[in-house]
Structure 1
Amino acid sequence: MKYGIVIFPSKPVQDKANSYRKRYDPHYALIPPHITVKEAFEASDDEIHQLIPELRAIANNTEPLAININKVSTFAPVTNTIYMKVEASQELVNLYEKLQSGNFPVNKEFNFVPHITIAQKLSDQEYADVYGSLTMKDMQLEDKIDRFQLLYQLENGSWTVYESFIFGKDAE
């Protein structure tokens, strides 16, 4: 089964992202706005059950963190993807790096660029228009993050939460 690890921002940040995603992101119905901290990977039920204690330990040793979004950016010319850029705080980078070590599969396809996708798979013309208009909008958002989620992918391509891991929580 395919799994991934993400951070879901608060409802106000998700609402802001969704105001663009519903028009410009074909994955809008498949997953809520999120910050990917571990790219999708394949794992068996046994492998996931072995990773869960490790995920719990990482969460227990991570303090809640603040994220700041201060602009719209893009992955062009690689792809016509537009995103809300999340500042790469040391705490966020540390969390990402912990999820790339230990028993976790090594699957870093790209450098870690914390972001919330708001548009993707646009034609060149549509990309130019949308990116041009979004760069003129104010994107000053702050959020407090206190958990990450292990997701799994359903047969229809949508993602759902397998388990949430709360930061700084005592081990169960």
Structure 2
Amino acid sequence: MSYGIAIFPSQDLKESINSYRKRYDPHYSMIAPHITLKDSFEASDAELEHMIAYIEDVASATMPITIQITRVSSFHPVNNAIYLRVGENEALTTLHEQLYDGPLTHEQPYNFVPHLTLAQKLSDVEHADVLERLKMVTVEHEEIVHEIHLLKFDHDKERWNVYKTFSLGGNR
């Protein structure tokens, strides 16, 4: 089965992001706005039990994390994705690194750039136009993240769903 680990932002921020994703992100219906902590990986049921125990340990040892959304940016020329950049954050980077360690060890496909996708799979012309418009929007948002989520891909519905939620700092 396919799994991933992500942070979901507050409902207000999700709604704001989705106002763009509805128009510019073909993956809009596959997953809610999120910050990817660990890209998709495969695990058997037996492996998953060990991984869940590890994620619980990591989450309980990690205090809630304050994230700041700092600006609109793009991965161009690598790809035409446009996103809200999450400001540099040592705690978030450490959490990401821990989720690629232990029983979750596998090669990272990309450098970790914490972000919330607004648009992707745009043509070059669309990308340039949308990026210029979105860069004019003032982006200043801060919130505290209290949970991370293990996601499982439902191949029948072609959608990522929350499989298990882990509280940071062992709270809640």
Report the TM-score range of the alignment, normalised by the length of the smaller protein.
Answer: over 0.9
In structure 1, the residue matched to 2:164 is 163
In structure 2, the residue matched to 1:39 is 39
1:53-92 equivalences under 5 Å are: 53-92=53-92
In structure 1, distance between residues paired with 2:101 and 2:129: 40
Q: CA deviation at 1:137?
A: 0.5
In structure 1, distance between residues paired with 2:160 and 2:28: 11
Query: Aligned partner of 1:62: which letter?
Result: T
Answer yes or no: is 1:97 the counterpart of 2:97: yes
Query: Aligned partner of 2:41: which letter?
Result: F
Answer yes or no: is 1:23 the counterpart of 2:37: no
Q: CA deviation at 1:65?
A: 1.0
Runs ≥4 residues deviating over 2 A = none
Higher helix share: 2
**TM-score, normalised by the number of residues in structure 1:** 0.96
Q: CA deviation at 1:88?
A: 2.2
Query: Aligned partner of 1:83: which letter?
Result: Y
In structure 2, the residue matched to 1:3 is 3
Query: Aligned partner of 2:53: which letter?
Result: P
**TM-score, normalised by the number of residues in structure 2:** 0.96
Q: Secondary structure at the match of 2:95?
A: helix
Q: CA deviation at 1:103?
A: 1.1
In structure 1, distance between residues paired with 2:88 and 2:42: 26
In structure 2, distance between residues paired with 1:55 and 1:76: 33
Identity %: 45
Q: CA deviation at 1:40?
A: 0.4
In structure 1, distance between residues paired with 2:65 and 2:122: 33
Q: Secondary structure at the match of 2:19?
A: helix
RMSD: 0.9
Aligned length: 170
